[in-house]
Amino acid sequence: MRVLILEDEPLLAAAIKDGLRLEAIAADIAGDGDTALELLSINDYDMAVLDRDVPGPSGDEVAQHIVAGGTGTPIIMLTAANRIDDKASGFELGADDYLTKPFEFRELVMRIRALDRRRSRAEPPVREIAGITLDPFRREVYRDGRYIALTRKQFAVLEVLVEAAGGVVSAEQLLERAWDENADPFTNAVRITVSTLRKRLGEPWAIATVAGVGYRIDTGEPGRA
């Protein structure tokens, strides 16, 4: 999952980003409204967490931009105000949830997870392909009934590959979905993570490398490279 965080308090923004990374959630930070709009124009996000009171276009304006785009991206609004009128106006703008500062980081994670489940309600909660069973909510993976212990990053990469249902996913797409904007596009991080993930899943190898293109789950279907 990749989340946009609009927060102009540097220490809080850094703490949120670091904490989400430990939860296998990639987060891009925007310190002002203009940066948030720029990031939204070049990246696809699974969710947006927006502080309402920021420099430049406000969190409200960024929320309106997201809603107008018709992507259905869930929005959590952050504010220091706890008045019901403020919350009502946020929901009227299209926010899906509301969190008042100061807040417990664990609560933010729970709200992100809950919104993600709601967004994915039409999809089966547990995904299965080529003998791999992936439960995105329990964060569990099984191969032919055998539990596979994965690191957070390995799980995030596998989740993207499983979602592709046997389709090829490029290294660039994996960087976008499983890492954050600070990931070096020339790093070997994707190759190394895929290699260790392949070994964790065991033989026969479940992840195929498509030379010069990317990676996919090997479903054994005829005609696939």
3-state secondary structure the chain: CEEEEECCCHHHHHHHHHHHHHCCCEEEEECCHHHHHHHHHHCCCCEEEEECCCCCCCHHHHHHHHHHHCCCCCEEEEECCCCHHHHHHHHHHCCCEEEECCCCHHHHHHHHHHHHHHHCCCCCCCEEECCEEEECCCCEEEECCEECCCCHHHHHHHHHHHHCCCCCECHHHHHHHHCCCCCCCCCCHHHHHHHHHHHHHCCCCCEEEECCCEEEECCCCCCCC
Last residue of a domain, one of 84, 119, 154: 119
Q: What is the CATH number of the domain that holds 62?
A: 3.40.50.2300
Q: Answer yes or no: do 99 and 201 share one domain.
A: no
pLDDT for residue 224: 46
Same domain, yes or no: 112 and 7: yes
Same domain, 61 and 152: no
pLDDT score of 124:
54
For the chain, residues with pLDDT lower than 50 are 222-225
| Structural Rg of the chain based on CA atoms | 19
User: What's the pLDDT score for residue 90?
Assistant: 65
44-98, pLDDT tens digit by residue? 898 999 998 899 999 999 999 998 887 788 999 988 766 666 667 767 778 889 8
CATH code at 145?
1.10.10.10
Supply the range of the domain harboring residue 175. 127-217
Q: What is the pLDDT of residue 223?
A: 42
For residues 78 and 155, state if they share a domain.
Answer: no
Residue 86, pLDDT score: 65
Q: Is residue 181 part of a domain?
A: yes
Largest CA distance in the chain: 60
Is 166 inside any structural domain? yes
The pLDDT, as a whole number, for residue 106 is 92
Amino acid at 225: A
Residues 8 and 112 in one domain: yes
Residue 107, domain member (yes or no): yes
Whether 113 and 168 map to the same domain: the answer is no
What is the count of structural domains for the chain? 2
- Could you check whether the bond before residue 204 is cis, i.e. omega within 30 degrees of 0? yes
pLDDT confidence of residue 181: 63
The answer to whether position 224 is within a domain reads no
Is residue 225 in some structural domain? no
Sign of CA dihedral 192, 194, 197, 201: negative
Is residue 211 in a domain? yes
48 shares its domain with 144: no
